[in-house]
A and B are shown apart, each in its own frame.
Chain A
Amino acid sequence: MNASASPASTLVDSHAAIGIDMDSTAYDVFQRIGVITRRLHDALHELGYDKTLETAVDSLPDARARLAYIAKLTGDSANKVLNTVEFARATQDAMSSGAKELKARWNGKTSQTLNGPDGEVLITDTCEFLGSLPLSTDLTNNHLTDIMLAQDFHDLTGQVIRKVVDLAQTLEEQLLALLLETTPPERRAKLLSTDVGFLSGPAINVDGRTDIVTSQSQVDDMLESLGF
């Protein structure tokens, strides 16, 4: 292939070679796309953006891996907390039902009614239950420690999120610079002032802003003032 041949002309040639009949309008469009592609390619090369974009694109798989790591870590932590809560709840339920059962058996007992075989069994069962309580509370404490340690995902994912945010910022800056370089001067100001139009999502920088709500009560108040 001729090094100077545009992709569009190559495409048109290949279409002609396989017998597709293209009218002059389609040919003209392909020619123009080819010229634009060549200009863009040359401009990127001259400005050095081909390398910077290549670097940015190369770092995207790394960002994907980091985001996958965050998803895994937060998922693991959530499962760990839920599993531990279920174990802890079983221990709590056992203590509660044991205490209720003993309380029912002690109801109406006097020193006289305790002086019999039933009374001895009740006293033995009560002592055993009281003896088991420290083990149960230790177990619950261990579960609470596990739940606390599961919160370390905040630190670990936070560090990774920072790196992904840095990468996104670099990519954004490079793409914006490229866009500005390749936009005619008279349209740059408009481009810079264009609202991207996406939904805002969670409020990030809330300080000094009056255009957002920062709590559910503010949401409720606002809805109420609107008659809902």
Chain B
Amino acid sequence: MSNATEMKFLIVDDFSTMRRIVRNLLKEIGYNNADEAEDGIAALSKLRGGNFDFVVSDINMPNMNGFELLKQIRADEQLKGLPVLMVTAEAKKEDIVTAAQAGANGYIVKPFTKATLEEKVLKIVQKFAK
């Protein structure tokens, strides 16, 4: 993983407003390097083409949802070690269990605060730095 502040994030969400919100929040937290994808398919394409260090993904998206993206990442030899934080409106317990079983490293339910995002991101970054 890159030096913490130079880490490259991929923000995956079908709503551009939410991608901008997450991108701006990451900037405020100290992470300036971020790219965006509108669904799982676009995300996989970008992940395979660039050196990303962290994925922040929505779940409910057209074409390929966040669960499927997570499974594909974990099944990919090149990408399987990437930290993935789910940021989603899906608040059902079964969804959280599904995400955990599929290998998510964190789960944030929308609406969320800057403090929540910062806490989860830092926790994952610290865990992966060990």
A interacts with B: yes
Residues in A with CB closer than 8 Å to B21 are 148-149, 151-152
Q: What is the bound-complex CA distance between A152 and B116, given in angstroms?
A: 15
Closest to B117 in A: A149
Q: Using an 8 Å CB-CB cutoff, how does the interface string of A145-170 with B read, 1 for contact, 0 for none?
A: 10011011011101100000000000
Chain B residues near A151: list those with CB within 8 A: 17, 21
A169 to chain B, nearest CB (A): 16
In the assembled complex, B25 has its CB within 8 A of some CB on chain A: yes
Report yes or no: B110 in contact with A152, Cβ–Cβ below 8 A.
Answer: yes
Q: A155-B13, A155-B89, A155-B110 are in contact. Are A145 and B18 (CB under 8 A)?
A: no
A149 to B22, CA, bound (A): 9
Q: Which residues of B contact A155 (CB under 8 A)?
A: 13, 15, 17-18, 89, 110
Count of interface residues, chain A, beta-carbon cutoff 8 Å: 11
Would you call A156 and B60 a contact (CB within 8 A)?
no
Q: Is the CB of B110 within 8 A of A156?
A: yes
Shortest CB-to-CB span from A152 to chain B, Å, is 5
A154 touching B28 in the complex, CB below 8 Å, given contacts A148-B21, A159-B60, A159-B89:
no
Q: Once the chains bind, are A152 and B111 in contact (CB under 8 Å)? A: yes
Q: Is the interface of A mostly helix, strand, loop or mixed?
A: helix
Q: In chain B, what residue has the closest Cβ to A160?
A: B89
Alpha-carbon separation in the docked complex, A206 to B110 (Å): 31
Measured between alpha carbons, how far is A38 from B49 in the docked complex, in Å? 65
Decide: B24 and A154 in contact? CB cutoff 8 A: no
Chain B residues with Cβ below 8 Å from A149 are: 21, 25, 111-114
CA distance A27 to B106 in the complex (A): 71
CA distance A154 to B13 in the complex (A): 12
CA distance A154 to B28 in the complex (A): 21
A-contacting residues, B95-117, CB 8 Å: 110-114
Q: Which residues of B contact A152 (CB under 8 A)?
A: 17-18, 21, 110-112
- Which residues from A are CB-within-8-Å of B15? 154-155, 158
What are the residues of chain B within 8 A of A159 when measuring CB–CB? Answer: 60, 89
- What separation, in Å, do the CA atoms of A148 and B60 have in the docked complex? 22
Nearest CB in chain B: distance from A13 CB, A: 53
Expressed in whole angstroms, the minimum distance between the Cβ of B87 and any Cβ of chain A is: 10
Tell me the bound Cα distance from A57 to B47 in angstroms.
44
Known A-B contacts A155-B89, A156-B110; A148 and B18 likewise in contact (beta carbons under 8 Å): no
Nearest CB of chain B from residue A73's CB, rounded to whole Å: 9
Nearest chain A CB to B26 CB, angstrom units: 12
Closest chain A CB from B10 CB (angstroms): 17
Q: Give Cα A30 to B111, complex, Å.
A: 57
Residues of A within 8 A of B110 (CB): 152, 155-156
Instruction: State in angstroms the CA–CA spacing of A155 and B25 once bound together.
Output: 16
Pick 8 A–B contacts, CB within 8 A, sort by A: A148-B21, A149-B111, A152-B17, A152-B110, A154-B15, A155-B13, A155-B15, A158-B15
B residues neighboring A (CB under 8 Å): 13, 15, 17-18, 21, 24-25, 28, 60, 89, 110-114
Give 17 new A-B contacts, CB below 8 A, not counting A141-B28, A148-B21, A154-B17: A145-B24, A145-B25, A148-B24, A149-B25, A149-B111, A149-B112, A152-B17, A152-B110, A152-B111, A152-B112, A154-B15, A155-B13, A155-B15, A155-B110, A156-B89, A156-B111, A158-B15
